[in-house]
């Protein structure tokens, strides 16, 4: 039997993370659906589409399973708020599992707690990533990172982590970016059951993307300057703010090249971990930085649009465009780098400095905790039971279209679900 502390701490972390994540989603947004949550996952669940069906060139198993659970458990009038709750609770579970996975990677319990909470604390996560199913895959990649580096303590633990790895692999297509990290401890058999499951899911994603490729997207107009300065301005800001205002002020003061200053804190953390840390810390440092940069680069190159010329953005463009969802996924790893460095504080002055860094990270997170607005607030509020019934009256075999965000997106609700659930 596990010691009570080993169960209690992740359990409490998961509850606190879920509660804080729920608070971060503004009240009006909780009753609105975002993009694929309504048009794909919810509508497909109601239409009987299996959860292993592909969309846009890859698999989305966890969001589809959660949508299936929502339509099976709650009445149609509660679909939106239940979807938001399920998405937030899943991120809370990711936080709890992260704490468990860091047991053999990070020494200090408080540092482990802070690292585990990064998914809900990251300032940029509030605008689009938290509270919807469509962006859960980024948190899955985060969990996959720690899963790859963790060494299970038993065969049964390895089997449990293999289930988690398979779910992540069948949800996030870019788990293949974690493959180089599997060279760490590659001779250790205990590591390969969860790693193999993660790779199996990734291989399934590759097969699906070849058989059912997504529509052409991305272009050749990007430049190395756009990638580097975009990474600095977007991912470099994600740990401190949920808007493009910080990057805009830097550009106003020092020009676009000045955005590189936003990478100074993670660069210092990297240097400290590589120079002062042991093999585990060095592995984490290099892994977090490489994963952050690869995720950003792959996301921009594969989804490039003509407006994503970050190297030439003026301050007003930074303010208007804000931080992209790619910055959030990439920013998770860069923010974690700052926190992991606190694990090296041994003597008094280092501990004082570590407390200062922790206060700064937490202060930034709490200051940006409640976004001024989130992406889906522009959508229609989900209809009440009375509204749904009125729209379905006299057409039990029909369907109704419910508007969601962004504009022109919609969910299709069969009237049999509405009239049968009165």
Q: Model confidence over 340-398: pLDDT tens digits? A: 999 998 767 777 777 787 788 788 878 777 766 677 887 889 999 999 999 998 888 89
16-20, 210-214, 218-222, 362-366 — which one is most confidently predicted on average? 16-20
pLDDT for res 353: 79
pLDDT for res 337: 96
Asked if pLDDT for residue 161 goes beyond 70, the answer is: yes
Asked if pLDDT for residue 15 goes beyond 80, the answer is: yes
pLDDT for res 2: 58
* Structure confidence at residue 422 as a pLDDT band (50, 70, 90): very low
**From CA 293, how far away is CA 207, in angstroms rounded?**
25
Per-residue pLDDT of 196-210, as tens digits, reads 999 999 999 999 999
Location of structure tokens 């969990």: 143
The pTM assigned to this predicted structure is: 0.94
Location of structure tokens 């993660």: 198
pLDDT for res 352: 78
Would you list the domain boundaries of the chain? 216-344
Q: Which of 128, 125, 133 minimizes the C-alpha distance to 38?
A: 133
User: Residue 259 in contact with residue 233, Cβ under 8 Å?
Assistant: yes
**From CA 380, how far away is CA 111, in angstroms rounded?**
41
Per-residue pLDDT of 92-101, as tens digits, reads 999 999 999 9
* Structure confidence at residue 219 as a pLDDT band (50, 70, 90): low
pLDDT for res 69: 98
């Amino acid at each position: 039997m596990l010691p009570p502390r080993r169960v209690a701490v992740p359990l409490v972390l998961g509850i606190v993370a879920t509660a804080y994540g729920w608070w971060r989603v503004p009240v009006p947004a909780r009753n609105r659906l975002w993009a694929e949550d309504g048009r794909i996952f919810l509508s497909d669940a109601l239409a009987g589409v299996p959860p292993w069906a592909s969309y846009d060139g890859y698999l989305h198993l966890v969001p589809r399973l959660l949508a299936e659970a929502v339509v099976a458990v709650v009445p149609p009038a509660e679909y939106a708020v239940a979807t938001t709750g399920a998405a937030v609770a899943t991120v809370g579970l990711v936080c709890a599992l992260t704490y468990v996975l860091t047991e053999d990677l990070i020494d200090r319990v408080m540092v482990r707690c802070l690292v585990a909470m990064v998914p809900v604390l990251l300032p940029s996560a509030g605008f689009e990533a938290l509270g919807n199913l469509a962006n859960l895959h980024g948190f899955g990649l985060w969990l996959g990172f720690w899963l790859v580096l963790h060494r299970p303590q038993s065969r049964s633990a390895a089997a449990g982590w293999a289930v988690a790895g398979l779910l992540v692999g069948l949800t996030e297509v870019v788990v293949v970016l974690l493959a180089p990290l599997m060279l760490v401890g590659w001779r250790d058999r205990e590591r390969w059951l969860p790693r193999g499951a993660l790779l199996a899911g990734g291989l399934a994603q590759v097969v699906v993307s070849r058989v059912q490729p997504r529509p052409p997207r991305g272009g050749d107009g990007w430049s190395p300057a756009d990638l580097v300065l975009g990474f600095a301005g977007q991912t470099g800001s994600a740990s401190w703010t949920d808007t493009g205002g910080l990057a805009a002020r830097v550009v106003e003061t020092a020009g676009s090249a000045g955005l590189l200053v936003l990478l100074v804190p993670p660069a210092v953390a990297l240097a400290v971990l590589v120079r002062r840390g042991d093999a585990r810390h060095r592995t984490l440092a290099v892994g977090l930085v490489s994963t952050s940069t690869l995720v950003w680069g792959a996301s921009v190159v594969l989804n490039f649009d003509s407006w994503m010329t970050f190297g030439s953005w003026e301050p007003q463009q930074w303010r208007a465009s804000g931080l992209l969802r790619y910055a959030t996924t990439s920013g998770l790893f860069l923010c974690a780098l700052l926190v992991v460095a606190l694990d090296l504080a041994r003597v008094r002055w280092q501990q004082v400095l570590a407390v200062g860094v922790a206060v700064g990270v937490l202060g930034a997170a709490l200051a940006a905790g409640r976004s001024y607005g989130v992406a889906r607030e522009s959508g229609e509020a989900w209809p009440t039971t009375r509204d749904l019934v009125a729209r379905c009256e006299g057409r039990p075999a029909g369907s109704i279209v419910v508007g969601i965000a962004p504009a022109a997106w919609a969910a299709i609700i069969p009237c049999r679900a509405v009239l049968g659930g009165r």
